[in-house]
Amino acid sequence: MSPRLRPGVVLLAILAGTSGCDGFRAPTVSVRHVALIDATDEALALSFVMDLANPNTAAVPLHEFRYTVAIDGKEVYAGRRNGGVTLSAVDNRQVSLPAIVPYDALGWTPQTLPASVDYTITGRLQYYAPKRIAQVLFDTGVRRPKVTFSSRGTIRLKESQ
């Protein structure tokens, strides 16, 4: 960034930081459920179905999800997914975040696959705040709002005999 532009960008950041009186609230992200999509000889494919909610009266475009998945306490997947949608005003929506779990990362084979495992997913969602000044700050890298999410639970990998 040009040194001549820097004071202007700093001023914009200050203005954006002090303009929180408009009642804007970050969207919320939570895990609805986790599904085993497929199992091959090398890996499992999981889908984390996420509930997104926009409590605002203005639309919120989503930029990017970044997340990690751990199985039985061991991180096995790190992913990035384009936000790809805009949450309309006072909108609820679901998106799916994929994860591939290689057996060798956990010392498994198809024959030694456990019946169930504990998972943890943690991540963040970057979004564009609805005001034009906030979008300029996002595009210049000065201010990139985000909301974090985390969930843990158990997923069944085999049907009960």
Segment 130-139, tens digit of pLDDT: 765 555 554 5
In a domain, 10, yes or no: no
Counting the structural domains of the chain, the total is 1
pLDDT number for residue 158? 86
Taken in order 124, 50, 79, 35, the sign of the CA dihedral is positive
Whether residue 138 is contained in a domain is answered as no
* Rounded Cα gap, residues 127 and 129, in angstroms: 6
Whole-angstrom Cα distance, residue 33 to residue 127?
Answer: 23
Which domain range does residue 96 map to? 22-108+115-130+144-153
Q: pTM of the prediction?
A: 0.79
| Six-digit token string for 6 | 């820097």
For the stretch 73-110, pLDDT in tens is 999 999 999 988 899 999 999 999 999 999 999 999 99
